[in-house]
Amino acid sequence: MSKTIAFIGLGIMGLPMAKNLVNAGFTVRGYNRSPEKVADLAAAGGQAAGTIAEAVDGADVIITMVPDSPDVEDVLTGDEGILAHAKAGAYWIDNSTIRPDVAKNLSAQAAQKGLKPLDAPVSGGEAGAINGALSIMVGGDKGDFDAVSDVFDAVGKTIVLVGPSGSGQTVKAANQLIVAGNIELLAEAVVFLEAYGVETTSALQVLGGGLAGSKVLDQKGQKMLDRSFDPGFRLELHHKDMGIVTAAAREAGVAIPLGSAVAQLVASTVQQGNGGLDHSGLLTVVEQLSGKNQD
C-alpha cells in the first residue's frame, strides 16, 4: 500500500520535492507556515493541510524541510508540533540542513516518542529538487533507511546511509565547506579574467573541460558573468552552514583555515545586505576586495 507522507516546509526546495513525491504516487499532505504555498502543492495533486497536526495525522512518513536548527526544533517539539500529533512508528525524515549535535538530540527525542528518525540533508540545489536528482546523505538506522528507500528514490539520485543519527548532517557540513570554497575561487577567477579583458564565456567553457571543471562552475559560472543572483540557495543559508561547519570543526579539534576565511567573506556579504542573493553572489564581495563594484 502506498505511503501517506506529511511534508512540512514548502519553500524553494520543499515544494518541488513534495511535487515529485506526488508524481511518484504517494499521498502527500503539505503544510507551510505561510499558507499560499500550500495551494501550489494542491494544484499539483497534493493535499493542503492548515496545521502540522492535520498534516501528520496518521501519516506513515513525515518530512521536514525548513531553514535552521531552531526551526526544526519548533516544528518537532512545539505544542502543536510533530511529536504531539504523529502516530507511533512513523518515519521522520529531516531534509533540512541543521547542526549535527541538534540533529542527534532531536532524533533521540523523536525515537523516545516512538518515531523512526533519519537526518537526511540534501545537495543539488533547486535544480536537483525539481529534477528529482538530489544527493542525500542519511544518518540513522539501516532498517529505517531501507524501509523508506522508495521515498528517497522519488526525490534523489545518489542516496547513501553514512552512519548513525547526526552523521548525515556532518557530511552535509563538509559538503557546504567544499561548495563555498569552490564558489569563492570561481568568483576570484571571474574577477581575474575580467581584469584582463578575456572573453569570459569562452574562458569558463574551456576551464569547465579540464581539471578546473566542477558542478559549481557549470551551475554558477554564467550566473556570475551575468550578475544574475536570483536564488537558488540564499547566501544567508550558506552563512548558517558555514557557522555549522566552523563550530563543528572547532568542536572536533580540526583546523579549517581556508573554510574559515571563506566563512568570513560569506558573513561580510550577508552583513552588506546581500543575504537574499544566490550564493554565487559571493562574487559581489570578491569584486569589492579589488576595488570593483563600488557603487
Q: Which is nearer to ligand NAP, 65 or 93 (CB)?
A: 65
- Catalytic pick from 19, 172, 220, 223? 172
DSSP string, 153-221: HHHEEEEEEEESTTHHHHHHHHHHHHHHHHHHHHHHHHHHHHHTT--HHHHHHHHHTSTT--HHHHHHH
CB of 108 to ligand NAP, least distance (A): 20
Least CB distance to ligand NAP at residue 236 (A): 9
Residue 151 or 203: which CB sits closer to ligand NAP? Answer: 151
Residue 72 vs 203, nearer CB to ligand NAP: 72
Q: Could you tell me the three cell numbers for 126?
A: 533547486
Which residues of the chain form contacts with ligand NAP (CB under 6 A)?
9-14, 32-34, 37, 65-67, 71, 74-75, 96-97, 122-123, 125-126, 232-233, 237
- Minimal distance, residue 16 CB to ligand NAP, in Å: 9
**Residue 172 is a catalytic residue:** yes
Alpha-carbon torsion, ordered 52, 55, 57, 58, to 10 deg: -140
The residue number whose beta carbon is nearest to ligand NAP equals: 11
With respect to ligand NAP, which residue has the nearer C-beta, 14 or 166?
A: 14
- Quote the least distance from Cβ 63 to ligand NAP, whole Å: 11
* CA distances to 68, 97, 131, 223 from 102, in Å: 10, 11, 29, 34
Which residues are identified as catalytic? Answer: 172
